């Protein structure tokens, strides 16, 4: 069985399955570890959402979480530390989330005229 990630720009609500959330804070991922298993949050922490695409019927959403101490049982991990703790597919999606959030932070103004950019 082959699992494919599809760049799908419909809204997250348009997908029938439960979304996969990849929360990014200060360039690192927020994860929870329970019984030696590392997982991504099942509920989205507050922040700016970026639709990454879909995995089957599930939307994949990167979330830019404000810099503050992680709440509850979440902790921050870098991509290097995360490698090997989650599947290769989840790691690739997490990496994409980190890239998209960083891109959004670094491109808030037009590089030519300095006008603030807006999501479209």
Nearest to 61 by CA among 26, 24, 89, 28: 24
pLDDT classification of 1: cutoffs 50, 70, 90: very low
Higher pLDDT, 9 or 119: 119
Residue 53 backbone phi and psi in degrees, to 5: 150, -155
- Residue 71, pLDDT > 80, answer no
SS (H, E, C) 71-105: CCCCEEECHHHHECCECHHHHHHHHHHHHHHHHHH
Q: Are 102 and 27 in contact (CB under 8 A)?
A: yes
Could you read off the pLDDT of 73-106 as tens digits, one per residue?
889 999 999 999 999 999 999 999 999 999 998 8
Q: Which of 10-14, 20-24, 116-120 has the least mean pLDDT?
A: 10-14
- Mean local confidence (pLDDT), 6-17: 63
């Amino acid at each position: 069985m082959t699992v494919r990630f599809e760049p799908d720009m419909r809204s997250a609500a348009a997908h029938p399955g439960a979304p996969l959330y990849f929360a990014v804070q200060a360039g690192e991922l927020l994860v929870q570890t329970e019984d030696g298993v590392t997982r991504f949050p099942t509920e989205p922490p507050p922040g700016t959402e970026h639709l990454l695409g879909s995995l089957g019927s599930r939307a994949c959403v990167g979330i830019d979480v404000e810099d503050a101490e992680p709440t509850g049982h979440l902790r921050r991990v870098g991509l290097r530390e995360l490698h090997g703790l989650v599947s290769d597919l989840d790691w690739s999606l997490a990496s994409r989330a980190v890239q998209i959030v960083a891109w959004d932070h670094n491109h808030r103004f037009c590089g030519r005229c300095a006008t603030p950019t807006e999501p479209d």
